[in-house]
Amino acid sequence: MGIKKEIKRPRGTRDFTPEEMERREHVENLIKSVIESYNYRRILTPTFEHSELFELKSGEEIREHMYVFEDKSGRKLCLRPEATASICRMFAQTLRKERLPLRLYYSYPMFRYERPQKGRYREFWQIGIELIGSERPEADAEVIDIAVNSLKRIDLNFILEIGHMGILREFMKELGIRDDIQPHLITLIDKGDLDKVGRIVDNKKFLELIQLNGHMDVLDDAEALLDEYKRALESLENLRSILYWLKILDIDYRINLGIGRGIEYYTGMVFEIRIPELGAQSQVCGGGRYDNLIELFSGIRVPASGFAFGFDRIMDAVELQGIDIPEKRVDVVIAPTNQNMREDALKIASHLREYLSVDIDVMNRKLGKILEYADEINARFVIIVGPEDIREESVTIRNMDTGEQRRIEIKEIMNFIQ
């Protein structure tokens, strides 16, 4: 007797069944088709990088949760926790001669050592885009437009909130808040921990500003609060131009100047998309403008903006909002009636596979059992291959939805199955 050794999957990871993968792929393809319709091209970066890459600018939240390890030569590496830093490194290393703007996208898993819970995993998937080379508000608007249209293509309901790191950063600078404190402060703003923010920044206007949340009137309120803070006001003007383009694109949004984003490299517009039904982990998308990150790796200033979807949360939202995903079905199960019919059955299968998905019995089952199997896996048709059929260069075809069964010539099969 063998010895059973139970090994479970690591905490915070998941197995995906074929049914789940079909649903995930369907939704992933919808998002990819929208992204590609804006002329974005897919890239791939390594699963692990030098951990320094993310330690530089990815922010406290990410730094604390990195999967860091040493390889056999003593290099300090980590499983990628996000893609933007990798893509900036890739730009500096391999893409710097490319014509700008560069429109890139990715779809792959990220790794963060977090406490697993619903909507928060240690291995999770992101689909994201980066628009590299433009500092124009139109570029920011394009990035938001893609995020919004991707979710609309899936038929999801969601809330879009837009903020601006430039306003916050310039305001902090003008208030004399030290550079090294700013990232921590932004993390606190992002978490909505106003008490702690208040202890660091003793300025009523600042505290009011980060609580502004609403529609267009927020901009006027912000302007009133910022009257003496000129550089922050300039950033507000930039936000106005972005919103102008969004209006033309007919995008519905709220303005929330308290969006901090846990990631340090954002410099301008930032946005988040939430789906409230998801509960505590309701954010399905985060993005913004990062004008200094590429320079950090390449030495040349190249402005950029982008976003990342949390794909697993999108899939949870698809379930919660009851969105219908068409079931994927095998077209044909081929059933030889006895062992002598196997050769003909295989030839027919090979021929049909040029056009259809075809399953053939490999269990030496009797016809009745094959029909049961075809019914259980929800096949569209069964093609029965028996001696009388073959004598007439025919097969017997059964439509599993209607139960209708008839003999047709082999060369007619494709006309019958449409």
Q: Which residues contact 417 (CB under 8 A, 6 or more apart)?
A: 331, 332, 356, 380, 381, 397
The residue (of 124 and 245) whose beta carbon lies closer to ligand AMP is: 124
d(CA 109, CA 86): 13
Residue 287 CB, shortest distance to ligand AMP, in Å, is: 7
In which residue are the tokens 């060369």 written?
A: 411
Where in 363-402 is the site for ligand AMP (CB under 6 A)? none
Residue 337 CB, shortest distance to ligand AMP, in Å, is: 51
Structure tokens at 243: 């919103």
d(CA 138, CA 127): 22
* DSSP string across 149-204: HHHHHHT---EEEEEEHHHHHHHHHHTT--TTTHHHHHHHHHHT-HHHHHHH---H
Of the listed pieces 115-123, 141-149, 239-247, 329-337, which binds ligand AMP according to CB under 6 A?
115-123
Residue 171 CB, shortest distance to ligand AMP, in Å, is: 22
d(CA 47, CA 62): 16
d(CA 213, CA 215): 7
Contact of 223 with 19, CB cutoff 8 Å: no
The site map against ligand AMP for 310-329 (x = CB under 6 A) is x-xx----------------
Residue 63 CB, shortest distance to ligand AMP, in Å, is: 12
* Residue selected from 49, 114, 138, 221 as contacting ligand AMP according to rule CB under 6 A: 114
Residue 67 CB, shortest distance to ligand AMP, in Å, is: 12
Of the listed pieces 24-32, 89-97, 117-125, 352-360, which binds ligand AMP according to CB under 6 A?
117-125
Provide the 3-class DSSP secondary structure of residue 211: coil
Structure tokens at 330: 């095998």
Residue 377 CB, shortest distance to ligand AMP, in Å, is: 32
* Residue selected from 90, 141, 162, 284 as contacting ligand AMP according to rule CB under 6 A: 284
Residue 231 CB, shortest distance to ligand AMP, in Å, is: 26
Of the listed pieces 44-52, 145-153, 282-290, 404-412, which binds ligand AMP according to CB under 6 A?
282-290
The site map against ligand AMP for 60-99 (x = CB under 6 A) is ----------------------x-----------------
Indicate the residue whose CB is closest to ligand AMP.
310
Strand partners, 161: 254, 272
Of the listed pieces 175-183, 283-291, 359-367, 376-384, which binds ligand AMP according to CB under 6 A?
283-291
Of the listed pieces 89-97, 113-121, 161-169, 403-411, which binds ligand AMP according to CB under 6 A?
113-121
Cα 252 to Cα 84, 159, 305, 329: the distances in Å are 26, 8, 20, 37
Of the listed pieces 86-94, 99-107, 114-122, 151-159, which binds ligand AMP according to CB under 6 A?
114-122
| Distance spanning both ends of the chain, measured CA to CA | 51
Residue 310 CB, shortest distance to ligand AMP, in Å, is: 2
Residue 285 binding ligand AMP, by CB under 6 A: yes
Structure tokens at 337: 């009636």
Q: What is the DSSP letter of 4?
A: P
d(CA 403, CA 292): 65
Contact of 148 with 142, CB cutoff 8 Å: no
Q: Go through the chain and tell me how many residues it has.
A: 418
Of the listed pieces 152-160, 278-286, 332-340, 342-350, which binds ligand AMP according to CB under 6 A?
278-286
Q: How far is CA 290 from the centre of its chain?
A: 19
**Which positions touch ligand AMP (CB under 6 A)?**
82, 112, 114, 119-121, 124, 126, 262-263, 283-286, 308, 310, 312-313
